[in-house]
Amino acid sequence: MNKDTSSRLDRRIRAGKLNRADIVRRLGELAFGRANDCVRLVLEECPDLDELELSLLSEVRRSDKGGVEVKLIDRLKAVEALSAAMGADDGEAAEFLKALRDGGEP
């Protein structure tokens, strides 16, 4: 999701105009979004924060020795929430979520 879309979604939330489609779209972006900008945040010397899409970022820590730890949101929880929001109560969705939890093992 780009910055503009995120801002529009934030305005809709504040205005109380958020609907199910907005929630499903946002959960999909969290579940399957790319973390490229989160990596750019820690690798680039002076990244332009206004240009970075950091919605997947949960936490950043820098150690005393210069190491960096980047923590992203729990995508499995986002996928589970997306499945619930879409009303996926069928066995196929449950099987997919189980495979994700088990690291892809059948």
Residues 65-102 pLDDT 10s: 989 899 999 888 888 888 887 776 666 666 766 776 77
pTM score > 0.85 for this model? no
Residue 57 pairs with which residues in a beta bridge?
72
Residue with the bigger pLDDT between 105 and 75: it is 75
Q: What gap in Å lies between CA 64 and CA 85, rounded to an integer?
A: 42
Domain boundaries, the chain: 1-33+74-106, 34-71
CB-neighbour burial class of residue 31 (10 A; exposed 0-12, middle 13-18, buried 19+) = buried
- Out of 5-9, 46-50, 63-67, 78-82, pick the least confident: 5-9
pLDDT of residue 46 exceeding 70, the answer is yes
Contact 79, 31 (CB under 8 A): yes
> Quick one: pLDDT at residue 89?
63
> Quick one: pLDDT at residue 69?
92
Q: What gap in Å lies between CA 28 and CA 65, rounded to an integer?
A: 36
